[in-house]
Amino acid sequence: MPPATTALIVANVAVFLLQNLAPQTSVAWFALWPFATSSMHGGVSFEPWQLVTYAFLHGSILHLAFNMFALYMFGSAIEQVFGTRRYVIFYFVCVVSAAVTQLIVAMLSSAIYPTIGASGGVFGLLLAYAIYFPRNRVMLLFPPIPMPARVFVLVYAAIELLLGVSGSQPGVAHFAHLGGMIGGYLLLRFYRGGIRRSSR
């Protein structure tokens, strides 16, 4: 694997292990909390560093494994296209844009709950993969249907939007996933002058 993708996976696994030593403290300080402070949650509140740190926390080993597998699949290819420096910038722009989107949604809905997981960055990488490798086959998990990457990302984005609007899958930050894609798309528009699109 390329160096930055390897480092991100190692960091996520290491933080997950540390998180399990003090789960309540980790979530209170490093998960992404809405702007409002809630006495119901011991007075926890938003802090600026949470825009990044939330992406290194995960709710379960399955949550971690899914995100790290996607990071390995899509991040490795995109790091080779972008180069390490641009790749790291891209990943964290997606992480922050996902966080900002989640904060806006939480503010509009008056919901107070923590957000954790690398999915915002992963969804940005998924979008980049679909743009640079549009014809590469990607397999849906449920159901296991192979499809071109560009179709896959459109289907996945539509599902995320539907689930987010309907609220039928509570506890999942669907709009944050879409926010990661939006941040990635905007940065790609800036990058496109210096990076050629692959036809593979």
pTM: 0.87
Q: What is the pLDDT of residue 93?
A: 97
pLDDT tens column, 72-116? 999 999 999 999 999 999 999 999 999 999 999 888 887 778 899
Give the separation between CA 126 and CA 95, rounded to whole angstroms.
13
Sorted by where each starts, the structural domains of the chain and their CATH numbers stand as: 3-191 (1.20.1540.10)
Lowest mean pLDDT, pick from 41-45, 128-132, 192-196: 192-196
Give the separation between CA 59 and CA 13, rounded to whole angstroms.
12
pLDDT tens column, 166-188? 665 666 777 888 899 999 999 99
Tokens representing 52?
């990044």
Which whole number is the average pLDDT over 32-42? 67
